[in-house]
Structure formats: C-alpha cells, structure tokens
Structure 1
Amino acid sequence: MMVHSVYSDRDVFLRELISNGADACEKLRFEAITRPELLGEDAKPRITISADPDNKQLAVEDNGIGMGREEMAEALGTIARSGTRAFIERVEADKATEDSQLIGQFGVGFYSAFMVADHVDVIS
C-alpha cells in the first residue's frame, strides 16, 4: 500500500488524524466568517481522542466542518485526493488565503490509519 512507503513510523496515524480534525475545525472557522450560523452552540474548536482498550478501539472526533456523502466518497474513496487541497484552491481563487491555516494537503494522512487498523469508520 502507498501509505507504507510514505510513512515509516506506524504511530504517525494519530498525528495525521488529529491534523485532519484540525483542518476540519479551521475550515469551519473560515466558513463561519460569512455564515456564523454554522458554528451552532459548540463554537469552540475541539478534537477529542478516546480509547477503548477492551475493544481495541480508538476514536478521534472533532467538531469541524464535516463532510457530505459526495465529498466523503470523493475525498476518502481515492488516495491522495485531499479535500484540504481542494478547499485551499477554492480559497485562493477567492484571494482569501491569508486567513486560513490548513495543515493536511497531500490526501494520504487518513490512509495511515490502515497501518494500525483493519477497519476504520468515518462518521460525519
């Protein structure tokens, strides 16, 4: 798998999933500049990591922008297709990149989870 050639340290998956969560929070913050109703009641950016050792499960949750069904299929269904990259391109077209601090731009970070897991659920 391509992920193994990109990452030599199996533990990098956690950093990558946190990075994805940070990107989702940043996208929400940016979009909420013009659409404050997107923030709802839980406006403070949050990434939560919880472990269930008995079931050998790890959850990384955020309260960022989320993805619709189509975006999820497009972004997660094709390796190296980064939703962050598409977002940056859209923002650059609008000449507003100075206010956006996005991390993950290569699209393989999510796939690093498969270095340590046989099954990955994405809920949005």
Structure 2
Amino acid sequence: MSTETFEFQVEARQLLQLMIHSVYSNKDVFLRELVSNASDALDKLRLAKLRDDTLDADVSDLHIELEADREARTLTVRDNGIGMSYDEVGELIGTIANSGTAQFLKELKEAQDAAGAEGLIGQFGVGFYSGFMVADEVTLVTRKAGEKQGTRWSSRGEGTYTLERVDDAPQGTSVVLHLKPADPDNQLHDYTSVWKIKEIV
C-alpha cells in the first residue's frame, strides 16, 4: 500500500508544539485522555450496532487493552470499538479544525495555572495530541467497524504526518506511543512501568 505524507494545518502545528514542549506539570493526563477516547469508541460501537443490527461488527467482548513494552519503550492503548475510516482519520486527526483548536489555544493562554490548562485538554477534544507530551512518535492503526480495510497514521509531531491503507488492521483503534526517555526532573515518568500505569488508570 502506498504511503501519503500530509502537512498539519497551522493550528494543529501550534497545538503539537505546545504538547511537545509542554508546560503541564502533570503529564500523566495523556493516558487518561487516550483511555477516555477508547471508552468513547466502545460506546459509539454499541450505539451503532443498536441502530443497525446488520452492521458487521462483534460487540460481544468490547474492551480496552494497555500494553507496555519496556525494551522497545512503547506504550499501546488498544480498543475494539467503532474505529475510523481513512477519510475520518484525515479529518479528525490531520486538521483538528473540528475540535475547537483555535478556541483551545486562546483559552490556554488565558489559563492562569497548570491545573486550569490541564482541564482544557479533555474539554476541547484534543486529548489525542497529549500523547506527544511523552512520545517522540505516535502511530495509530484503525479500522472502522463494518469496513474491510484499515488505516495507519504516523507522526513525529514535526509538522507532517503519514497516512496509508492497511489490510491487516483489527476492528477498532490502537495508539502506539514511542516514548521519550524517562526524565523525573521534568515530571516525565517511565510509562512502561506497570505500577505507574495502574496508578494513573
């Protein structure tokens, strides 16, 4: 399958830079945001199946998995929920115009403290980007329920992202974070640690 490279919109680039050079004292928020997104995906699939019982999707064992690989320094958040189509990935993640990013950036500048800033992440639906607080690269693989082909999205947060169609994607979405080195002085914990993951989730 061919891989296409796209540029983030200006607002998206601003947001990525904000996350990469994060001033947030509590970077743990990223994992709560990704788990919350995965939970929403499960709920959306349940609802879709109720509305259309001909939908070719298994809803008998909906769940979220967290998988840490200490050697590879990756953390994966995986769900078997509704998933996204190729076009939806481009729209929802590539442009983020739909998630109120401009308003988010405006309110973030006005937030007087780190706690107030952290509260804004979930409010504006930009939780996915919080992964760049702790990761040098983020890879997302997704397949929309009822569709045969999946999509892989990847970015190092440097202004561009790649999209490609894949044939072997399971239903749902997995987000793989290629973690930065742990740096306790900057509140960057070892997110391959099982106890740290349990503490957050």
> One fold, TM greater than 0.5?
yes
Are positions 1:75 and 2:103 aligned together?
no
TM-superposed CA distance for 1:35, in Å, is: 1.7
Over alpha carbons, which structure has the higher Rg? 2
TM-superposed CA distance for 1:48, in Å, is: 0.3
Are positions 1:33 and 2:50 aligned together?
yes
Is the contact between residue 28 and residue 38 of structure 1 (CA under 8 Å) also seen in structure 2?
no
More strand by share: 2
Structure 2 stretches lacking a partner, 5+ long: 1-16, 100-121, 143-201
What number of residue pairs does the alignment pair up? 102
| CA spacing shift, 1:52–1:23, aligned 2, 3 Å | same
Query: What is the match of residue 94 of structure 1?
Result: none
More helix by share: 1
**Which SS does the other structure have where 2:83 is aligned?**
coil
Query: What is the match of residue 113 of structure 1?
Result: 131
Query: What is the match of residue 53 of structure 1?
Result: 70
Q: CA RMSD in A?
A: 2.0
Structure 1 stretches lacking a partner, 5+ long: 83-103
| CA spacing shift, 1:114–1:123, aligned 2, 3 Å | same
**Which SS does the other structure have where 1:49 is aligned?**
strand
Is the contact between residue 42 and residue 82 of structure 2 (CA under 8 Å) also seen in structure 1?
yes
Q: Percent identity, aligned pairs only?
A: 49
Amino acid at match of 2:82: I
Q: Which moved more, 1:72-81 or 1:18-27?
A: 72-81
Query: What is the match of residue 36 of structure 2?
Result: 19
The Cα offsets for residues 27-66 of structure 1, whole Å up to 9 and x where unpaired, read as 1011111223436345222000000000000000001000
Query: What is the match of residue 9 of structure 1?
Result: 26
| CA spacing shift, 1:79–1:2, aligned 2, 3 Å | farther
Amino acid at match of 2:124: F
Amino acid at match of 1:56: R
| CA spacing shift, 1:63–1:33, aligned 2, 3 Å | same
**Which SS does the other structure have where 1:28 is aligned?**
helix
| CA spacing shift, 1:33–1:41, aligned 2, 3 Å | closer
What TM-score do the two structures reach when normalised by structure 2? 0.46
Amino acid at match of 1:29: R
**Which SS does the other structure have where 1:120 is aligned?**
strand
TM-superposed CA distance for 1:80, in Å, is: 5.9
Query: What is the match of residue 88 of structure 1?
Result: none
